[in-house]
Homo-oligomer: A and B are copies of this chain.
Amino acid sequence: MDARDLATFEAVARLGGMGRAARELNTVQSNVTQRVRRLEEALGVSLFERSRAGARLTPAGERLMPYATRVEALLGEAGRAARDDGAPRGTLTVGSLETTAALRLSPLLASYVQAHPGVDLVLRTGTTAEMVERVLGRELEGAFVCGPVAHPQLVSTPAFSEELALLSAPTETTLAAALRRPDLRLVILRAGCSYRQRLEELLARRGVVGLRRLEFGTLEAILGAVAAGLGITLMPRALIGPAWRGGQVRAHRLPAAEARVQTVFVRRRDMLPSSALLAFQKHVTKRQTK
């Protein structure tokens, strides 16, 4: 059984059609048809039900499908294992929450790339949900996300511990006062942000629900909006040093149970970490204990 036939099969099954698979594989449809046919002949079973709408897996195809993905993953891993001689090199693609990147990662990344000049480091930012999705999809080798993460396919290691603070305009002297404002809004970074969810839970416990939201793409814009009295937000206390010191925003302390948030580093359980990733994790741990 040819691995490339299997990959073709996988694409057809995933995309639900031979033509679509051909486009993804940068080839023509007749080719895909031929590969699938050959696979079917080699196995002696029919893998797809063909119809006007496309191709649908037969029971035999359903049984084969998980193997197709596993073989692909294993071949990829084999290549990495053979190439990787223990000296970190190549491209390391990791993800991070925007806030973590801003607050913790810059010095860490700087010293990492300095220590390992053979590595091309790529950092993607996004929400916890997006990062988890991308790690599962093998787009990222790992990611810093808001913990805890419980997923059977992932293994997570604690990276940082943050204390969150609720920010309001400096004119609100207490948390209670800030929450009493009739035109209160949540100023958030992105729709799926895990701090947003946390903030809403936190407010709900205080009887505040159904607030309007303002969404800004950058941390600076958020701080600016809060300073201007447009609303409140939640973010790591350590991140707001400058703005707070300048008196632009007021940080309201929260009870420890609500304030503490663990940032964890997650990676796929079944993917062997590259030397570059191992060195990265070691780097993180070292910084953390220091």
The residues of A with any CB-CB pair to B shorter than 8 Å are 1-4, 6, 42-45, 47, 59-61, 63-64, 67-68, 70-71, 74-75, 77-79, 81-85
Contact = CB atoms under 8 A, between A and B. Distances in A.
Contact of A60 (B3, B43, B60, B85): B85
A59 to B, nearest CB: 7
Given A67-B77, A74-B70, A83 B45 contact: yes
B3 A79 contact: no
A264 to B, nearest CB: 29
A64 B78 CA distance: 6
Contact of A81 (B67, B77, B83): B67
6 contacts: A1-B78, A2-B4, A45-B82, A60-B82, A60-B83, A71-B78
Given A59-B85, A74-B67, A79 B4 contact: no
Contacts of A60: 82-83, 85
Contacts of A47: 82
Given A1-B79, A4-B2, A43-B79, A84 B63 contact: yes
Task: Give the dominant DSSP class at A's interface.
Answer: helix
B82 A63 contact: yes
Contact of A78 (B6, B81, B82): B6
A82 B64 contact: yes
A40 to B, nearest CB: 9
Contacts of A61: 82
A48 to B, nearest CB: 12
B83 A75 contact: no
Contacts of A81: 63-64, 67
A84 B82 CA distance: 33
Nearest to A82: B64
Contact of A67 (B2, B70, B78): B78
List 3 tightest A-B contacts by C-beta distance, closest first. A67-B78, A64-B82, A3-B3
A262 to B, nearest CB: 34
Nearest to A60: B82
Given A78-B64, A82-B63, A1 B1 contact: no
A79 B71 CA distance: 12
A197 B42 CA distance: 46
A123 to B, nearest CB: 25
Contacts of A1: 3, 75, 78-79
A82 B42 CA distance: 11
A198 B258 CA distance: 65
A191 to B, nearest CB: 40
Nearest to A62: B82
